[in-house]
Amino acid sequence: MDAIVEAALRKWPHVPHCYGWLALDARGNWFMRDERIQHAGPFPQVKGSRIEHDKLRAFIERNYATDPRGAWFFQNGPQRVYLELEAAPFVWRVADAPGWPVTSHTGLPALVRSAWLDELGRLFLDTAIGYGLVHTMDMGLAAQAVEAGAWQPLELPFAQMPARFGYVLQPQAAAA
């Protein structure tokens, strides 16, 4: 987490959390979802505005974390902005290199522990840093890893993945 974010948390420790305003799609893109977009429909059917600014994306990615219940958020200074996830907390990019190394959409390298296929044929990887979906553009490389026996996917319905791997697709504020 950025030092400036940690300082803001110490200065203003009781800023209310924010829900519904930020989302991560299945290709690792961040989306802003203002009130108008939220009322237009749920994510991912209505995505919102894709965040294109490189420095803003990098700031979000450096301050991206999870809480004890598995809800992912972006710590924006003193305010915690909870994310809606289309598929999983990470989107993996697979490198065309020996061992098929993977890197998260946030730029973190990860070691694959297990592979999972959902009913749509999407490939998910459980890694030392978390659970995520293989980017669609990297499925050819992922298929090579599977064919070589490096990854041996097990089948699991998508609806069971969040509970099995401890993450929340659509965090909600706790009831008052």
Q: Give 3-state DSSP helix, strand, coil % of the chain, rounded to 5.
A: 25, 30, 45
| Span(s) in the chain for CATH 3.10.540 | 3-85
For β-strands 112-117 and 123-127, DSSP reports them as: antiparallel
> pLDDT tens-digit profile of 10-56?
776 676 889 999 999 999 999 999 999 999 999 999 999 999 999 99
Domain spanning 3-85 has what CATH number?
Answer: 3.10.540
| pLDDT surpasses 60 at 176 | no
pLDDT value, residue 12: 64
Determine the 3-state secondary structure of 14 from DSSP.
coil
In the sheet that holds 112-117, the strands lie side by side as: 109-110, 102-104, 90-94, 130-134, 123-127, 112-117, 154-155
Give the type of residue at 147. Answer: E
